[in-house]
Amino acid sequence: GRKSAGTLSLECKWTGCRAKASKRDHLTSHCRVHVALKPHVCSICTKAFKRPQDLKKHEKIH
């Protein structure tokens, strides 16, 4: 892995949101709460999710 020289303090740019993250992928994941897009769809019951990890967790119930 790659080592970081320091701690990042990234802030969500959404108006009124005060969320912060130390990693870009964490901030990217957080930003999905602000949009209605749910591209990850269960192939069994068609329930949709914003995050791929939520779909993967859901699929275990089938």
- pLDDT (0 to 100) of residue 7: 74
pLDDT bracket for residue 34 (50, 70, 90): very high
Give residue 2's pLDDT: 62
> For residue 4, is pLDDT > 70?
no
Domains and CATH numbers, the chain: 10-60 (3.30.160.60)
DSSP string for 2-58: PPPSS---EE--STT---EESSHHHHHHHHGGGS----EE-TTT--EESSHHHHHHH
Q: What is the share, in percent, of the chain residues with pLDDT greater than 70?
A: 90
Average pLDDT of every residue of the chain: 91
